[in-house]
Structures are given as C-alpha cells and as structure tokens.
Amino acid sequence: MLFRVTLLWLALCGVVLAQGTSPFIGGVWSGNVTPTSATVATRLTATALRARLVVSVNPTLVPATYSSFVTTSATSGNAVKFTVQGLKPDTDYHYGVEVAGVVRSEAESRGRFRTFPLGRGSFKIAFGSCGDYRHPEQSAFDAILRERPLLFIHMGDLHYSDTNSTNPDDYRANYDQVLGHLNQGAMYRAMPVAYMWDDHDYCGNDADSTAIGRDTARSVYRERVPHYPIGSAGGTIAQAFSIGRVRVIMTDLRSGSSPTATRESASKSRLGTGQKAWFKQELINARDSGFPLVLWVNPDPWIAPAEVGSDTWGGHATERVEIANFIRDNRISNVVMLSGDMHGLAFDDGTNSDYATGGGAPLTVLHAAALSSDGSVKGGPYSGGALPGAKQYGVLEVYDNGGPSVACRFLGIRVGEGPKLTHIFSSSAYAASSDQALVNISTLAKVTSPEDALVSGFVISGSTNRNVLVRAVGPTLVSFGVGDAMKQPQLAVYRGEDLVAANTGWALDADHRAVDGAAVRLTAAFDRAGAFRLIDEASRDAALSLSLSPGAYTVRVKSGDGSPGSTLLEVYDLP
C-alpha cells in the first residue's frame, strides 16, 4: 500500500516537475497573419531550449498543427519566433508553446488569432498608439480585447522607456514589460498585432536616424516582434501586407529620418531615401493590383503647419509635398492614413490634408490615441476633433460587397463613453478623374420628424450636361452598425422649385416593383463613381443616376414613413 501511494505521489510530482517554473519572460504575441499562416514570438529564460508552436482550432490544442523547432540562443536573448503554415482562411485558432517536449500551460504562453479572409471579405480592425504601462488607466486594452478585432495595429509608443543604447538587453526589457503587463499582455495574447514604432519606443523623444541606439533598436525589433516581412527599405522596419482586398503599408518615420531641425531641402527626409523609394513602389503596386483601399500606417501627424523643428510632417514639409504630388500624379485616390502620436481622436475628410501643389491629394486621415497616456492635441486642423484624452482607440470597419469600392466606418472611441467620432466613407480602386466638375458630397445626418429634411446643394458649372449619381442610403447602413438608420429615405432632386427626379427604392419603381435592368445599370454607376455597392435590390435605399444641365440643384431627403433616422446623403460626379 505504502509502495502504491509513493508511486502515485511520484507520478503527481512528475506532472508538477514537467511544468515546473515558467520558462517564459514576458508573454507571447502573434502577427504576420495571412489567410493561411501566422507567426508567434516569445522569449525564454534559458539558452539551448528546444521549442515549437502548437496551433489548434480547439483551446485544448488537440488536434494540433506544429511549427518547426527553434532552439534558444544567447545571441538573440533567448527570443524565439515560430511560423506555422497550412492554416484555413477566416478561422479562429488557439496556440501554445511546447518547451523541451512539454506543452506549457502558463497563461503567458497561450494566445489566439484569426486567419485573414482569402480575397473579398468584410472585417473590423482596431488601432491606437501611446500606451504607457506605468499609467494608472489601462482600460483601453480591456476594451479592445472585448471588441475582438481581426487585427490590432499599434502605431507607436508601445512604451515610454526612451531607451537609446547599444545594449540589446535594454530594448528586450521594454518588450518584456509590455508583454508581461496584466492588461496589455492579455490583449496582445488575444489578437494578432501589426506594430510600427514611434519615437519613445524607438530611441526617445523626437528621435531620428542619428540616435546611437538605432541599429540595436532595429535588430531587437526583428527578434522580438512578430512582424510582416520587412521591406527592402533602407534598413528601416517598413512593412506591407494585405487583409482581404485592403493593402496596409506601414512606414517607419524614425529610424531613417533626418533631424527635424535640419533646414528644408529636397534631401531632407522623414522616410529616408531607401524607404521612400520602397513606399512609392508599394503605392504603385497597390494601385496596379486594384486594391479598393490602401491604409497608410503613418504614425505622426500629416496635417500641421510647415515649420522647421516640428516633430510632425510639418517638419518635413518639402517631402510631404513630394509625396502628395506623387499620389496625385499617379492617380491614386484611395489612400487612408492611420495616425497616432497626437494623444487624441480626430479625422479629416480631405478638407485640410491636401498638400499637393495646387491641390489634388485630399487624403482621409484617421487619428486614434492615447491608449494609456494623458491627452494632448498636435497638428490639425481636422474636420472632426481633435478630442484629446486617455483610454482612447480607433475602430475601422471595412465592408466589402465586391466591385471596385469598399465602404468604411471609422469610430473614435473613448472607454466608457463609446464612439466620440464617426466618419463613414467609401474608397475605390478607380482613380479620381482629373476634370471632376463638382466635389463629391457625403453627409451622414439624422432626420428627427416627418417635416424634417436633410438638404444639400451642388452646382453644375460649364456649358454641357454632366452625369451625376445621387444617393440617400438608409437600410444598408444597418450593416455598417448604424443603429438608427432611416428605414425609407425619400430622395428628391430640385432645380429651383422644380422637381427633377425622386426615388424611394434604388431598384424599385414608385409602386415598389422591381424595375427591369435598374439594379445592373445603377450598380455600374456605383462602380464608376467609386461608391460602395448596394446589395439588396428590394431595399429602400434611394439612388438616382441623372444627366443634368448646368445650374444650381438642391437635394432633399425626408423620412418616408415619418419615423426619425440617420441617412447618408451622397452626390458623385459620374466620370
């Protein structure tokens, strides 16, 4: 009997000894996600440990797919990276790490990711910057975890250590702090990340390519971050990748940058020569591949007055004009910027962001920060915001119904207060026509009573007729998460007091019967205009494609059933 008890006790000991002390420093995080693969990075406590990644659709990690084995070594600070291939698109996976033959059970070794859609797909990402693990308010990380985005894009200031050193251990310790943090570590384990640094997590406040820590910061980034393949971009950590039909280009505004205090000239560069050539080529490749949307992860404020010494694009104003002219001259009309650094929420619809000589590059700009740091305003002006504050982040929803355009909704969120800013826009692979006679109008507004109307106007100049697409989108907004979308928008176009045309169901006649060929004809017009597609032919979303003679026009939207609701009023010049 004693013998059997001893045996049992030894067996239990065996289990305990097998797990033993945690071999992890900090935690795991995943990235480099594609429709069929992903990378996980972590750091272990000892050299010569043989480890591999275990991936499964089940939290029990059975059955599993494995990465190749990796053995820790002192030269990389025992950091390890595993890549697993052959996964299914659009699928949730759990992962863990096997060390020395034992699948570890520590929370810091377990995580999740979802593979990306293959081809067309709608999805939601979250983005933000400026997370200080010493700050008392860390609830943004818990809120993002609850959002369950497909990806979290970190746009810099992963921490505020301001390390500028040639000792890699100094940089490694920063990652350990972030990934070992209660709230932050839990979020990074729950979703994949695409991370681009800014100054404080590179080499310190306003740091540039002259920082002594530059090469060390770059090499520890490569060893400890589950990054996408790094571009051939002058030694910077620039990366580009795709999510469905969205191309994401992340630029490194620090490690290739000339000092902002340098006098303006054609050679003063925020990107550095190598990265700039890479960036331009990435934009051309995205255009030629027909991506409806290009997200430029551009960590620092684009909109700011030109000023030598400014730590924004205003401090590299000559290069800003060069990039804006490049975008215009190459007929690229679908670049949307994701920016941080400013500790606030803001967006610009192109009103303030056009730095092309004589105009022609009105970029959409979305700002989201600070995750866990005090609020401040930088750059601007913005057409929405800026709202400074802590516990803030951005959500971008992309709705892809096929065709050359996608619809997007940006939410600037403050924890506990919900969306503080909303901006709905569409983005198209089609280049903007250089002779567009009228500016596209896009307004989201709420009608509150049966008498109330949303009114907008436009002018057709010149001496010839122009084709115009006018829409009042209501029911389809529900799929964008607009809770109070108008059920039956009544759209009417007037010239003076005269009614030109009216519609209450885009593919229906006045008796709500399907009109032969209307859906096909209007869908072609949506595509030509760069407007997102309407899918439901029986919906009461309203649309009119009209040939109009020169003059002043008024558009009115009323609620057909009299109930209050929000509608998106759009006017497009049809090329």
Where along the sequence are the contacts to Fe ion (CB under 5 A)? 130, 157
Least separation in angstroms between residue 343's CB and Fe ion is 6
CA atoms of 260 and 315, how far apart (whole Å): 5
| C-alpha 73: how far from chain center | 35
User: If 0-12 CB within 10 Å is exposed, 13-18 middle and 19+ buried, where does residue 169 land?
Assistant: exposed
SS3 content of the chain, % helix, strand, coil (to 5): 20, 35, 45
Smaller CB distance to Fe ion: residue 130 or 444?
130
HSE value, Cβ hemisphere, 13 Å, CA-based, for 301: 28
Least separation in angstroms between residue 508's CB and Fe ion is 51
Q: Give the strand pairing for 123-128 and 151-154.
A: parallel
CA atoms of 339 and 396, how far apart (whole Å): 13
Least separation in angstroms between residue 198's CB and Fe ion is 6
* Helix extents (H) in 126-249: 139-147, 168-179, 182-190, 214-224
DSSP-derived letter for residue 75 is G
- End-to-end Cα separation, the chain, in angstroms: 90
CA atoms of 61 and 81, how far apart (whole Å): 19
Smaller CB distance to Fe ion: residue 341 or 570?
341
Smaller CB distance to Fe ion: residue 130 or 529?
130
Least separation in angstroms between residue 162's CB and Fe ion is 11
Least separation in angstroms between residue 227's CB and Fe ion is 20
Q: Radius of gyration over alpha carbons of the chain, in Å?
A: 26
Least separation in angstroms between residue 262's CB and Fe ion is 23
Beta strands, E only, 292-435: 293-297, 335-339, 344-348, 364-367, 384-388, 392-399, 405-414, 418-428
Taking alpha carbons only, the member of 133, 134, 147, 130 closest to residue 415 is: 147
User: If 0-12 CB within 10 Å is exposed, 13-18 middle and 19+ buried, where does residue 178 land?
Assistant: buried
Least separation in angstroms between residue 132's CB and Fe ion is 8
Least separation in angstroms between residue 341's CB and Fe ion is 6
Smaller CB distance to Fe ion: residue 377 or 438?
377
Smaller CB distance to Fe ion: residue 130 or 338?
130
Are 221 and 227 a contacting pair, CB within 8 Å? yes
Smaller CB distance to Fe ion: residue 226 or 299?
299
Smaller CB distance to Fe ion: residue 157 or 223?
157
Smaller CB distance to Fe ion: residue 201 or 322?
201
Smaller CB distance to Fe ion: residue 256 or 299?
299
Smaller CB distance to Fe ion: residue 130 or 190?
130
CA atoms of 464 and 474, how far apart (whole Å): 32
Smaller CB distance to Fe ion: residue 231 or 314?
314
Least separation in angstroms between residue 144's CB and Fe ion is 17
Least separation in angstroms between residue 130's CB and Fe ion is 3
CA atoms of 349 and 384, how far apart (whole Å): 8
Residue of minimal CB distance from Fe ion? 130
Least separation in angstroms between residue 223's CB and Fe ion is 24
273-289 and 317-329 are packed helices; what angle lies between their axes, rounded to 10 degrees? 20
